[in-house]
Amino acid sequence: MGNLLKLFISFFKIGAFSFGGGYAMLPLIEKEIIHVHGWLSNTEFIDILALSEMTPGPIAINSATFLGFKVAGVFGSAVATLAVILPSFIVMSIIFHFIVKFKNTPYVEWIFSGIRPMVLGLIAAAAVSVGKNAFVDIKSVFIAGLLFYMVSFRKFNAILAIVLAGLLGVLLY
């Protein structure tokens, strides 16, 4: 099977079975691109995530675009990006027709009450997975801890946090 078809199937799966946005998709993206296909190493995966975070747009789409380009050039980017958004497009097109009729039923609320904690669990799993490879020494733990505290509890601007992380990297390494 060619790389374009593999990219399409992998990212279609990621788009179809991930709920809660890009961070919740990270465990599935990691499994597909590192463990199943070996397209990236753990370090390259973290680099792709960093690039995806620094560029405008959703992390899953940016990751698909960057990885698609790495695997199969411009066509790979297009195929992976289309594949990751296609399931949501299909599902939302179908849901749109039923949303008005069922939006206030208790069943919908019950479904989302189950999905919300699952999304948090997937985000936590992604954080642990990335943390295993990102925390290479005490300096990296210090940078992450400081910026987590500043952004989470002091409402420090996330863009400034990225700049500060880069400056701390230059100073400490």
Over range 84-103, report the average pLDDT.
82
Q: Phi first, then psi: what are they for 20, rounded to 5°? A: 100, 10
| Model pLDDT, residue 161 | 93
pLDDT digits (tens, 9 = 90+) for 107-141: 878 887 888 898 888 888 888 888 888 888 999 99
Residue 116 amino acid letter: R
| Model pLDDT, residue 49 | 84
Over range 154-167, report the average pLDDT.
92
CA gap 43, 134 in Å, rounded: 8
Q: What are the boundaries of each domain within the chain? A: 3-134, 135-173
| Model pLDDT, residue 20 | 63
pLDDT digits (tens, 9 = 90+) for 36-50: 999 999 889 888 888
CA gap 84, 119 in Å, rounded: 18
Q: What is residue 19's DSSP assignment?
A: -
Over range 50-75, report the average pLDDT.
88
Chain CA centroid to CA 139, Å: 25
CA distances to 7, 34, 67, 152 from 84, rounded to whole Å, are 10, 17, 12, 29
CA gap 116, 90 in Å, rounded: 21
| Closest C-alpha among 26, 24, 49, 53 to residue 117 | 24
Residue pair 33/10 in contact (Cβ under 8 Å)? The answer is: yes
The mean pLDDT of the chain is 87
Over range 77-89, report the average pLDDT.
93
In this prediction, residue 88 has a pLDDT band, given cuts at 50, 70 and 90, of confident
Assessment of whether the complete model's pTM goes beyond 0.75? no
CA distances to 39, 125, 166 from 145, rounded to whole Å, are 30, 18, 14
Predicted confidence (pLDDT) at residue 1 exceeds the cutoff of 70: no
CA gap 153, 168 in Å, rounded: 20
Predicted confidence (pLDDT) at residue 22 exceeds the cutoff of 70: no
| Model pLDDT, residue 99 | 67
